[in-house]
Amino acid sequence: MSKSLEGKTALVTGASSGIGRAIARKLSKMGCKLVLAARERKTLELVAHELESESICVPTDLANRAQVEALVKEAVKKFGSLDILIENAGIYTSDAFSDMTPEAMQKMIDVNLTSIMVLSHAVLPYMKQQQSGEIMVIGSIAGVADMRDEAVYSATKHAANAFVRSLRRQVAPDGIRVGSILPGTVATELWGDIDPARIDQQVAEGEVLRPEDIAEIAAFMLQQPANVTIRELVVLPQAQDI
């Protein structure tokens, strides 16, 4: 029997667009209260206006540890609990490794990996106290496949996936579930996909997934009964050759 998410508080990073926005919409329809996090307040507020449930917008630079910790405190202060953490935010560049600066490499590590650890660490005291919680990382197929043109990106996603696998075992006795979704190509702004007609064509040809596809999978994982943990799901467009 699937469990209800009605009344749960969910924090979603990268909520201003793409997968994060789609997950926020889906969880709102299921009765969750939403804490929306991204860098720009204006874009977050546009998402908040679309939601069917109560929400707050908390502009956050995930590379800034103090802001990450403040984000969690604001969520608990507003809603009194934090039941679901969706760690979706990430950055990507198509630059060759030889063309990347050390600063750009560190920024990608900070956002794609370190922020996941810091944010997970910040929510655990609250989830342990209530003996329940969900931590879900939206990773990438680059976390289980060595993508030729994505050396640093793949490294961060592999490391994040290893973190999820280990953390799951550590916090299982506390009633906390940890899992990840590892998608192939998703039509989002991250990859420059903004033309609806082109996206429809790519979907029809099995070349890309929609953000809403990932949102449906996230909801499925979160609704599993307490005795079930889906550690990770690899999700690919039908025609993606990986």
- Any idea which residues carry the catalytic annotation? 153
Beta strand ranges found along 47-116 (DSSP E): 55-59, 84-87
C-beta of residue 55 within 8 angstroms of C-beta of residue 35 = yes
Nearest by Cα to 119 from 179, 181, 68, 177: 68
C-beta of residue 24 within 8 angstroms of C-beta of residue 49 = no
User: Hey, what are 223's tokens?
Assistant: 């609704």
Reading phi first (left if > 0) and then psi (alpha if -120 to 50, else beta), residue 10 is in: beta
Nearest by Cα to 42 from 22, 4, 15: 15
Beta strand ranges found along the chain (DSSP E): 9-13, 33-38, 55-59, 84-87, 133-138, 176-183, 232-235
> What are the backbone dihedrals phi and psi of residue 196, each rounded to the nearest 5 degrees, phi first?
-55, -40
Q: Which residues pair with 182 in a beta bridge?
A: 234
Distance of alpha carbon 46 from alpha carbon 31, whole angstroms: 19
